[in-house]
Structure 1
């Protein structure tokens, strides 16, 4: 016997929709436009979207539900409950899938957005919608995209997006362009970081910074650490890691000639993560008394590690 679901009181309808998983809600949304509007009543839960190049997932109530484009009409609505996976109809592929789920569930938070071997137009369409709606993006990752020539356009959009937790960048951008990161999330990791210059480092507000294959020199690092030592500067910074062939044994950093290591064995570990460890470190003390632990080793890729103590721990 059919049930006139949409005639239920709003409070009851909200409770019913809260009991439904994303697959059930998506199927209901296809019944009518009115139903599609109504299922957003379940939106008080902490919906979070994760979007890659071929698949988009919805995280809610500690579960992840994966959606992808149905390659054939007969696969539409096909579900794999063991893997929490559903195939849905998306005429325009990944971008269409992204828009459908964003609107169907009224998503206001993107947990992860990544570009990985996709074309710039697809990313641009997603990014512009997120910018227009000012949707928070916790983590943004530029994977090993083949279209590094589009990096200058990608960075322009990155600086307009609301990225709050982490920016991760793996590809080697073309050297002929100037790239700038204007907005700083809590963490940044840049694999080919030659374009991240001393001015960007001095302006950063990050908690964690990892710059691989950098072009920062002894003089740059000396300028940064001298600024860090001043009271009130870089209050958020807890970890800085830089590898650069521009680091050498010819110029001092804080009056110390590299390599910079303690004569006594010291091993300092961050209480938050497993990889933030400094061995044989020397102390660098701020004007306000906070301690930083510095190690700089020379080699094929000289590497600096700098761990800042947290007063609360």
Structure 2
């Protein structure tokens, strides 16, 4: 008896691509950028010229294509230049050194609507709560001297910059902050992405710039941080060991269910369905079926399947 075999790779489920290759994962990130200080001292045209260098980083967990959480650390110096302290007087500059640690919830706005959850770019937002340490001073813009209260004679300094130390690290003042903002990501590889983010932290005080109730639009001071950075995702291995563990997810269908011998020949069609995100891009599989009838075994022609990055003969199976 001879057998004629044809193979078919089922890919109907792949075409749906509802979740892409999303997997719950941890990630680490780092960034660098420009700080901005929204306080009573700001002139409307001074934000760019008052920008300072900041940096940050953290650890996150993406639990679904839409929702995640992260811990973030930001450190930087802040500057606000204005003429609001003394009417018709010299221009004053508020300077602050600040760091904060916050817990954020993140939401991927684009993945709420799109079917491909692993598209190469997206827009996200975040909000949370955090703890901050800061030290501030006010200086004259023309000579850098510390501004002095004309009534009390005290210098406008706080935290580590003063004798009136706070309870934070290195005598800094302590406050709570509310972080919020938005960003965009661009996937460079399955594990590495580039992120652009605008971060704001609303402070529970109006005293970061050492002036209360100046400009009404800044009843409480606001810290800004515009950054560019990188995210690295710990997606785990998708190699041969993982394929071996998931081999029971491969399904087969043989038609016809009842084999028929016609003139010494049997026609057989074998349909193989590999699950999504199963086939590693650098792997290959040799599929060697056989027929057992009675006490005899008939080996059928073998079929080779290969990953996207494997050269040579064989039918390619996409990872996604």
* Greater share of residues in helix: 1
Normalising to structure 2: TM-score of the pair?
0.21
* Greater share of residues in strand: 2
